[in-house]
Amino acid sequence: MNIKNICCIGAGYVGGPTMAVVAQKCPHIKVTIVDINASRIAAWNNQDLSKLPVFEPGLDKIVGEARGRNLFFSTDIDQAIDEADMIFMSVNTPTKTYGKGKGMAADLKYIELCARQIARVSKSDKIVVEKSTLPVRTASAIKNILEHTGNGVKFQILSNPEFLAEGTAVQDLLNPDRVLIGGDTTDAGQKAIQALVDVYANWVPKERILTTNVWSSELSKLTANAFLAQRVSSINALSQLCEKSGADVHEVSKAIGMDSRIGSKFLKASVGFGGSCFQKDILNLVYIAKTYGLNEVADYWEQVILMNEHQKNRFSDNIVTTLYNTVSGKKITFLGWAFKKDTNDTRESPAIQVADNLLSERAHISVYDPKVVEERIYADLDYLNTRSSEENRALLQVSNDPYTASKASHAIAVLTEWDEFKTYDWQKIYDQMQKPAFVFDGRGILDTKALEKIGFVCYKIGSGS
């Protein structure tokens, strides 16, 4: 089967970049990305490519090349479904905030709505691809919904989880470690798998395209995120022991990372992991294990999250203790709000929790982030419901310049590892701060020895020396 027309439902951090790359690499395929969020679609269609709703290095160029040629952004979901041979579901699958599984299970209402819309609109056979991260066995629920339409249309369901990391999405998509495609073991299932393999084969070497049964594929995505987050929590657990014992976590991670059995990636100690996926996917894994009665398995993985909570809280606790046990009325400058560098995404960013803890201690916070807009920062805090939105606005200011943000402040806290933070005129920052001037480096990116020479009192995560 030769795919000529692709529809992607969900124009978010995954759907947008993923389909932009498919369109760029497959000029013979028409790709339409649809969303119910009209303002998001309008932003994707913005002539000014610096105003796309998702910031990723290199994405503006790819969208600029393919948009209007074979890449389209639209709110007409029915028409895009009707025309497509292959439909990607790339909608959000957040943690449930109500009912059974509240705070743990994945909320599948958006996926189910998509499936029902596909079932209602389709007049010809289609391949439906799970691009969203889903609990294992979701494909059978989707199949049930699609097969009860009674209009004779045949559907094949594939699982094709996305492994891109925000901040490096374009590179990850152009040059993936592997592409995973799971499908039915039947003849029709194998044909559908082949159709999707052929799409990726336009730019991904065949040996990196892995095909499996649908359950292995669904479960592999949750497993990959659980393993990645586990490495962060493991090194973060050791960072606290380093601080107590006089060891240095940066030296320890280099020493263990050079062991080829361990490997060097994802061993950077930090104020904690964030992002929309790690926490929600591990919680989902924990929930799935519990529903099968596997309590020890559930407890094992839950510890990764508990460690992450601890790491965020101990970072803010340390700020309070170091500033003579009170931050009330003191100005603390945050460098960074995004959950990692090179993205404007703030979902589950550790900065949010750290700020919330310090605001509860009545600190005044001034935030500078190179890509995150002011409304986003206030929305993140308001979402926690710890205090009124007016109080959040009174206690926290957002600045579009790091020097203004740090003027007269008692302490600077680095919450995101943006490269530009390393290039600042730190003498100038020191001169305009209250003394003693403190730096709390939650990402271990600053040259603290040089800062100490200027006069700063420094804390670097995991550094006990």
- Paired residues of 95 in beta bridges: 106
Among 166, 243, 417, 441, binds ligand NAI (CB under 6 A): 166
277 near ligand NAI (CB under 6 A): yes
Residue 438 in tokens: 């403190």
Verify binding: residue 133, ligand NAI, rule CB under 6 A: yes
Q: Which residue is it, tokens 């994707």?
A: 44
3-state DSSP assignment of residue 441: strand
- Judged by beta carbon, residue 110 or residue 430, the one nearer ligand NAI is 110
By beta-carbon distance, which residue lies closest to ligand NAI?
Answer: 12
Instruction: Please give the Cα distance from 164 to 170 (Å, whole number).
Output: 8
Is 279 assigned to a binding site? yes
- For tokens 């949010």, the residue is 352
* Under rule CB under 6 A, residue 282 binds ligand NAI: no
**Nearest distance from residue 397's CB to ligand NAI, in Å?**
27
Which CA distances in Å does 370 have to 22, 162, 208, 295, 451? 29, 27, 35, 43, 22
Of 112, 162, 116, 172, nearest in space to 138 by CA: 112
Tokens of 256: 């263990």
Indicate the residue type of 5.
Answer: N
Look at residue 54 and give its three-state secondary structure: coil
Cβ closest to ligand NAI, residue 76 vs residue 425? 76
| Smallest separation (angstroms) from ligand NAI to the CB of 246 | 37
Active centre residues (catalytic)? 277
Per CB under 6 A, the list member of 276, 279, 346, 366 interacting with ligand NAI is 276
Smallest distance from ligand NAI to CB 403, Å: 32
Task: Tell me which of 80, 91, 108, 214 binds ligand NAI, using CB under 6 A.
Answer: 91
Considering only 10, 189, 350, 444, the residue that binds ligand NAI (CB under 6 A) is 10
Beta strands 396-398 and 457-460, pairing class? unpaired
Distance, in Å, from the CA atom of 178 to the CA atom of 160, rounded to the nearest integer, reads: 11
Of the residues 12, 135, 442, 462, which one makes contact with ligand NAI according to CB under 6 A: 12
We find the least distance from the C-beta atom of residue 433 to ligand NAI, in angstroms, to be 36
The terminus-to-terminus CA distance of the chain in angstroms comes to: 62
Whole-number Å distance between alpha carbons of 245 and 288: 38
Task: Among 32, 70, 132, 366, indicate the residue that binds ligand NAI (CB under 6 A).
Answer: 132
The residues, any chain, with a CB within 8 Å of residue 313's CB and separated by 6 or more, are: 353, 357
Binding string to ligand NAI for residues 15 to 54, with x set by CB under 6 A, is what? Answer: x------------------xxxx--x--------------
- Stretch 210-239 residues interacting with ligand NAI (CB under 6 A): none
**C-alpha span between 19 and 3 (Å, rounded):** 14
Among 20, 114, 283, 445, which residue interacts with ligand NAI (rule: CB under 6 A)?
A: 114
Which residues contact ligand NAI (rule: CB under 6 A)?
9-15, 34-37, 40, 77, 90-93, 110, 113-114, 132-133, 162, 164, 166, 276-277
- Residues forming the annotated binding site for NAD(+)? 10-15, 35, 40, 91-95, 132-133, 166, 277-280, 347
